[in-house]
Amino acid sequence: MRRLDLASAALLAILAVIFPFFVNAYWLHVMIIGMMFAIMAASWSLLAGYAGQFSFGHMGFVAVGGYTAGLLATGLNLPLPLGMLAGVLLSALLGGVIGWTCLRMSGPYLAIFTMAFSEVLRIIIVTEVEVTGGAGGMNVPQLFHARTDLPYYYLILALLMVSVGGMMAVVASRWGLFFRAIRENEQAAAAAGVKVTRFRIIAFAIASSLAGLAGAFYAPYIGILTPDVASQDQMGLVVAMAIVGGMESLPGAVAGAIVVEFLVEALRSYGQWRLVLFGALLLFTMRFARNGLIAPGWLRLRNLAAPRGARLAKEAAD
């Protein structure tokens, strides 16, 4: 079964590498944005799906990563990659601080607190016109001076593979076990010797750093950064991507992000009605498929592909 997963991952990686040779510049751009959202959705899935911390401040960290990279590159003339790295580190640090501040919060309290954090950050960006450019946005220098988006495509593909690979390693490690234990029952986790405070902060820091990474990539790719990056509309989109994909599955969240991003673009001619469609899809998923649509679908396919003998042995073992 593990061999099937690895073979599928390798096939998808090959398809991703050759994808740009079969599409035009528009769909290449859609894929780049889809992969950027995939980092956001997967990191949110790590925080909310695995560690049970329902943060709605994720886009705030995307803004921190993007604005830090942009401000350091334009204000201090630092090399852009250095600015991007600083954005990731600052997001991790701020994520840890927010995680520490929210230690005694869970459920709706945590959701509202983190939403307020993101909104306060957005308002600061709008207000500090001289530093951030306010609502009009801030120009950020390009990372690559190529005539196509190919360098950005391969960069975001590499960032996605490394970040999701890293998160999967975390999930498979004892840290992942502790995250899930905290999600299930904090009191029991503490009684079992899990340092709940430490691991809640770690979960926030990892997820926030990866949101910051997505923002640090987005700023030089688009070339202009506006406060809308931290808006709750964007947060809702990331949550919808993770839920449709499967909140407790990192590959599911990645697939959810890419599928939703492509659907958003493919249905653009329907205007605002496509958002109604997504709302309905989200309601359907939450009511009838709480583990998402893509991750359970993949598991079913995988079971069908397994030899009958192996299936029976697994059923007997279960």
Residues at the interface with other proteins (CB under 8 A) = 174, 177-178, 180-181, 184-185, 187-197, 317-318
Q: How far is the CB of 82 from other proteins (least distance, A)?
A: 37
Exposed / middle / buried, residue 48 (Cβ in 10 Å: 0-12, 13-18, 19+): buried
Q: Which residues of 283-303 are buried (b: 16+ CB within 10 A; e: fewer)?
A: eebeeebebbbbbebbeeeee
Q: Nearer to other proteins by C-beta: 186 or 228?
A: 186
Q: Nearer to other proteins by C-beta: 198 or 300?
A: 198
Q: Check: CB of residue 212 under 8 Å from CB of residue 62.
A: yes
Q: How far is the CB of 193 from other proteins (least distance, A)?
A: 4
Q: How far is the CB of 306 from other proteins (least distance, A)?
A: 17
Q: Nearer to other proteins by C-beta: 174 or 308?
A: 174
Q: How far is the CB of 183 from other proteins (least distance, A)?
A: 8
Q: Nearer to other proteins by C-beta: 142 or 195?
A: 195
Q: Nearer to other proteins by C-beta: 58 or 183?
A: 183
Q: Check: CB of residue 241 under 8 Å from CB of residue 41.
A: yes
Q: How far is the CB of 52 from other proteins (least distance, A)?
A: 11
Q: Nearer to other proteins by C-beta: 181 or 203?
A: 181
- The two structure tokens encoding residue 24: 């035009």
How far apart are the C-alpha atoms of 264 and 90, rounded to whole Å? 31
Q: How far is the CB of 248 from other proteins (least distance, A)?
A: 9
Q: Nearer to other proteins by C-beta: 79 or 195?
A: 195
> For residue 208, which of 100, 89, 307, 101 has the smallest C-alpha distance?
89
Q: How far is the CB of 148 from other proteins (least distance, A)?
A: 46
Q: Nearer to other proteins by C-beta: 193 or 307?
A: 193
Q: How far is the CB of 195 from other proteins (least distance, A)?
A: 5
